[in-house]
Structure 1
Amino acid sequence: MPGPAEESEPVTAPPARAPARHVLRDPSFLRLWSGSTASGLATWALPFVLGLAVLDRDLGAAGLGLVLAARTAGFLVAVPISGVLADRYSRRAAVLWAGLAAAVATPLVALGLGRSVALMAVAAAVVGAGQGACRPAFQALTAEVVDESRRQRANAAMTFAVRVTTLVAPGLTALLATALSTTALLLLTAALWLVTALLPPAGRPGPAGPHHRVPFHVEFAEGVREARRHPWFLAGLGALTAVIATGYSATGVLLPLISRDTFGTEAVLAAALTAYTAGALLGALVVARWRPRNRGWAALAGLAAYGFAPLSLLLPVHPVLVVAAYVIAGIGIELFNVPWFTAAQREVAPDKLARVSSLDFLLSYGLAPLGLALIAPAVDVLGPVAVLGGCAVLCFLAPALAALVPSSRRFSTS
């Protein structure tokens, strides 16, 4: 029998857990978001500003191609290195040093303008390396700063910022160019890289104590093995790479030509690209709240929707249908991107996330230049109808095949 004191003791319910703060009101995430947005602005601005330099005759077309190729090479070299270093030490430190490297190299691009294309190319390679080093580190840092329940919204906010940048930055840069020189615009991008380096918050500290030096290739191979533990990741990455290397490349090369030769105006080109960005903005807003039960299948269906873009260029349709196809493609790509990033942050071992993310960027974005280089010769040999038709089929088929992998249904092996 209980004693008198026990009888009189009140029974209280456990304290209610405070509701999680909305991710857009979280100061740490806002710093992360702002730093990532600054890196996106700086990344986008360099080729556009150098294009203005070509118009001003400060840089030739061949020089522009060399500088941009050097930047791409720097990106591809840095992505796997950054993945290893961000997992070995600190994701925040990786962002800091990558941003500082790009901030220091960008003024050298400006210094070489009109003087030395070689200097510009070397500096652009360093800028590209900074860009590449940021990508996997930001993916892993997001998982450290934002708890799992809010990551999908966080990733949607990140991608929304990228699309807004794509939509408004050309007009803003053109407006600034009326008052500022090309050199001044390049220095502004250096300032953006400084923001990227200094603004993001600290995540978890790196490994404590002395780190046993393991060869780079061994650590990278550990990331590859971690990726192989997730069949849905390998299947989705294969589908994404196929869509970017074929559909994205084909439309990038052929849309300007079809806009000019078939429709007789560049307005279709401008309208389609704007529609794609607008669709992506809408997709980011939808996926910030949408939680389908079979999230992997829904994401892969969104990825497959890009096939409507080459399909619309293949058929003799009204320009409105081309624009509509690009809206659908834009919506679909974000219905894939946001759950894809969120799933990687949830499923991949935290200490290997940067390496797995680097593998993602290395294959999906790294093969894009190869696809662009091969599309024009393929058109010369096979004709635009065969190329667009084949690319549309691959855009629909690759995600469908990825969906056949059992764990792809929910982007989870559990």
Structure 2
Amino acid sequence: MTIASATPPPSRRPAWAGRNYTLLTAAAVVTNLGSQGALIAAAFAVLQVGGSGGDVGLVAAARTVPLVLFLLVGGALADRLPRHRVMVAANVLNFLSQGAFALLVLNGDPRLWQMMALSALGGTGQAFFGPASEGMLMSTVSGEQAGRAFAFYRMAMHGAGIGGAALGGALIAVVGPGWVLAIDAAAFAVAGALRAFLDVSHIPPREAGGGMLSDLREGWREFVSRPWLWSVVVQFAVVNAVVAAAEAVYGPLVARDDLGGPGPWGFALAAFGAGTFCGALLMMRWKPRRLLLAGSLSIFPLALPSAALAVPLPVMALAAVMLLTGVSIEVFGVSWMTALSQEIPEEKLSRVSAYDWLGSIAMVPLATALAGPVQSAVGRTSALWGCSALIVLLTAAVLCVPDVRRLTRRTGPVAASAPADSADTEGALGRLG
């Protein structure tokens, strides 16, 4: 008689997809499904009560301003407290603010100041959530499988975002923006419940610090001590700004005047979304040895959409360019997350992430505000070529930084809390390479 083996069946999940990683990914999918549709719903909620395009911009800006103001505080707090508690508290704030927004819209008479105030609360929640979330994710995965794990996480987020935008647009047409906002509020509640079950026992207890300002100064020292880190963040402060100006301001204008209206522009943006999904899929298999060299080279294609709009290219050619750009940005994104996770000490991840976030978004409102005056001064075509030129020049400048070219993928987590100086870093990277 054959005796059944007592060996448990192998897990269907890969080794890098542990409990925390699975919970984080599931929660991110839920929130992205709701939030992408809610962004569209908020704009239509303003228009539904007779608001203008300028009013839509005010509601969007009301969300961005507190996000910029509170990011550094959020990063310091997430490195001081258990990160999952910060994430859950931020989700609760987003649930309450978005739920109140939904009730106002469903009751039929929301005021502009009310929508701006609730959007500001949502931005505040995001300011505290973002650094805590990145720190939690990067402390959950380490070693040679980190890149694959980050790629899958981003692929799941992008897939949910694409689906959420499509579903949200359809639901707005059927049931109205208020119910889409209510669904987003419910998504925050579900995601917060999932994140409450995160296990943080593997994270060492935080040592008592000297206060919030001391924590921020320590995070700043960590940030500026690494040339590869601050140089890329400075690069993206400008790159993100000019890309936002091109896509949010010039793109719709070119579509209106030369491409046949919003439909072709929406198709091009959908191609970009598909590209991000394909790029994340690529990075699940490709592990470039020199992380930031591969990532920085992939930024050059970001100059192509502005150039394509300057010509302008036909719709299908523009969509192909946007698809390539989506793939490229994911090559950079996964490489960047992997570099942060292996080079930054765990107890400082959220503060460094906050400086990264702040640099990435701080100039976006200014660039979008100045896009119109710049177009009036030099013409739309020249402005778009200028966007492309800035991206190329800044990317070339970043590649002149030795640490960007030399930083090499490791197979284990960062070993020390103190940042190395440039010479020590280059020596360590040379040995590991």
Common fold by TM > 0.5: yes
Alignment correspondent of 2:146: 151
Partners of 2:174 and 2:11 lie apart in 1 by 48
Determine what percentage of the aligned residue pairs are the same residue.
27
Q: Which residue of 1 aligns with 2:244?
A: 248
State the match for 1:90 in structure 2: 82
Paired residues for 1:322-401 under 5 Å:
322-401=318-397
C-alpha contact 1:103 1:193 (8 A) present in aligned 2: yes
Counterpart code for 1:311: A
Matches of 1:325 and 1:181, distance apart in 2: 34
Q: Give 1:59 shift.
A: 5.2
Alpha-carbon distance in 1 for matches of 2:352, 2:316: 40
2:24 counterpart residue number: 32
| Distance in structure 1 (CA, Å) of the matches to 2:16 and 2:342 | 20
Contact 2:33 2:163 in 1 (8 A): no
RMSD: 2.4
Distance, in Å, in 2 between the alignment partners of 1:196 and 1:34 is 8
Give the corresponding residue for 2:73.
81
**Among candidates 186, 204, 227, match of residue 191 of structure 1:** 186
Q: Which runs of 5+ in 2 are unaligned?
A: 1-9, 409-424, 429-433
Q: Does the CA-based 8 Å contact 1:43-1:131 persist in structure 2?
A: no
Tell me by how many angstroms 1:172 deviates: 0.8
SS at match of 2:299: helix
C-alpha spacing 1:347/1:255, structure 2 compared with 1 (3 Å)? same
Partner of 1:46: 38
1:272 to 254, 268, 271: 268
SS at match of 2:288: coil
**Structure 1 stretch displaced more, 62-71 or 80-89:** 62-71
Query: Counterparts of 2:54 and 2:268 in 1: how far apart (Å)?
Result: 28
One-letter identity of the residue aligned with 1:253:
V
Matches within 5 A, 1:182-221: 182-200=177-195, 201-204=198-201, 208=205, 211-212=208-209, 214-221=210-217
Q: Name the stretch that deviates more: 115-124 or 31-40.
A: 115-124
Are residues 1:66 and 2:75 paired? no
Offset at residue 210 of structure 1 (A): 7.8
| Alpha-carbon distance change, 43 to 362 in structure 1, aligned in 2, over 3 angstroms | farther
1:236-264 CA-to-partner distances (Å, cap 9, x unmatched) read 11222221111332232111111221233
DSSP 3-state at the match of 2:175: coil
How much does 1:168 deviate? 2.1
1:157-192 Cα shifts (integer Å, max 9, x gaps)? 222123223322232113323553433322211111
Q: What is the rounded CA distance, in whole Å, between the counterparts of 2:358 and 2:113 in structure 1?
A: 26
Tell me: CA distance 1:266–1:155, structure 2 relative to 1, closer, same or farther (3 Å).
Answer: same
How much does 1:382 deviate? 0.8
Match of 1:118 in 2: 113
Give, in angstroms, the shift of residue 209 of structure 1: 8.0
8 Å CA contact 2:309, 2:384 repeated in 1: yes
Is 2:91–2:125's contact at 8 Å kept on the other side of the alignment? yes
Q: Counterparts in 2 of 1:175-186, with a 5 A limit?
A: 175-186=170-181
Pick which of 110-119 and 135-144 moved more: 110-119
Letter in 2 for 1:294: R
User: Is the Cα contact below 8 Å between 2:96 and 2:185 reproduced in 1?
Assistant: yes
The alpha carbon displacement at 1:57 in A equals: 2.9
**1:63 Cα offset (Å):** 4.1
Q: d(CA) in 1 for partners of 2:266 and 2:124?
A: 30
Distance 1:33 1:292 in 2: 24
Unaligned 5+ runs, structure 1: 1-17
Could you say if the C-alpha distance between residues 382 and 340 of structure 1 is closer, same or farther in structure 2, counting changes exceeding 3 Å? same
Q: State whether residues 163 and 277 of structure 1, in contact with CA within 8 Å, keep that contact through their aligned partners in structure 2.
A: yes
Tell me: CA distance 1:339–1:86, structure 2 relative to 1, closer, same or farther (3 Å): same
Pairwise CA distance, 1:226:
0.3
| TM-aligned CA distance change 1:64 to 1:205, over 3 Å | farther
Shift of 1:206: 6.8
Equivalents in 1 of 2:44, 2:16: separation in Å? Answer: 35
1:335 Cα deviation from its structure 2 partner: 0.7
Q: Please give the alpha-carbon distance, in whole angstroms, between the structure 2 residues aligned to 1:230 and 1:339.
A: 16
Sort the Cα spacing of 1:265 and 1:290 in 2 relative to 1 into closer, same or farther, 3 A.
same
Q: Which moved more, 1:399-408 or 1:216-225?
A: 216-225
Give the residue type in structure 2 aligned to 1:95: M
- Pair 1:291–1:223, CA change in 2 (3 A): same
> Per the alignment, in what secondary structure is the counterpart of residue 145 of structure 2?
helix
The structure with more radius of gyration: 1
Is the 2:252–2:262 Cα contact (8 Å) retained in structure 1?
yes
Asked if 1 retains the 8 angstrom alpha-carbon contact of 2:238 and 2:363, the reply is no
Can you list the C-alpha shifts for 1:11-58, whole angstroms capped at 9, x where unaligned? xxxxxxx99961575333111111122333344333211223245337
Give secondary structure in 2 for the equivalent of 1:404: coil
Q: 1:262 aligns with which of 258, 264, 271?
A: 258
Find out whether 1:225 has 2:221 as its counterpart: yes
Does the CA-based 8 Å contact 2:374-2:383 persist in structure 1?
Answer: yes
Deviation at 1:295, TM superposition (A): 2.1
Q: Which stretch shows the higher mean deviation, 283-292 or 157-166?
A: 157-166
Provide the rounded CA distance (Å) in 2 between the counterparts of 1:286 and 1:81: 35
Shift of 1:79: 1.5
One-letter code aligned to 1:152: G
1:127 is matched with 122
In structure 2, the residue matched to 1:317 is 313
